[in-house]
Amino acid sequence: GAVVSQHPSWVICKSGTSVKIECRSLDFQATTMFWYRQFPKQSLMLMATSNEGSKATYEQGVEKDKFLINHASLTLSTLTVTSAHPEDSSFYICSAKQGAEGKSPQHFGDGTRLSIL
């Protein structure tokens, strides 16, 4: 089945550091990937839609300068949390959809737990 790989799975770093998270579709091409954020015991909140070769589409309230998204190839999207602070600590998870059929589900990476000290 379709596999989405996310790296790293866990990051602990000091406040002010920028952190890059990678999302790769391993066995299919994904022109569109999605980035979500999940706080403890809450649902997944869509942050942005990552489009290969063009600018990402951000959801309302998400700072595009804070969360930089690059989708340079059909198999890789990156999310960079710039100058991260403790309030950015969260579980970040990406997804990609295989195929154009409506019934094709989004496949998720295993997520990245980000802890900012």
**Residue numbers at the binding site for another protein (CB under 8 A):** 31-32, 34, 42-46, 49, 91, 93, 95, 97, 100, 102-103, 105-108, 110-111, 113
Q: What is the DSSP letter of 91?
A: E
Minimum CB separation of residue 26 from another protein in Å reads 15
Minimum CB separation of residue 32 from another protein in Å reads 4
Which CB sits closer to another protein, 13 or 44? 44
Please state, in angstroms and rounded to a whole number, the distance separating the CA atoms of residues 90 and 75. 24
Which CB sits closer to another protein, 82 or 113? 113
Minimum CB separation of residue 85 from another protein in Å reads 22
Please state, in angstroms and rounded to a whole number, the distance separating the CA atoms of residues 83 and 76. 22
Give the bridge partners for 33, in sequence order: 50, 96
Please state, in angstroms and rounded to a whole number, the distance separating the CA atoms of residues 117 and 59. 26
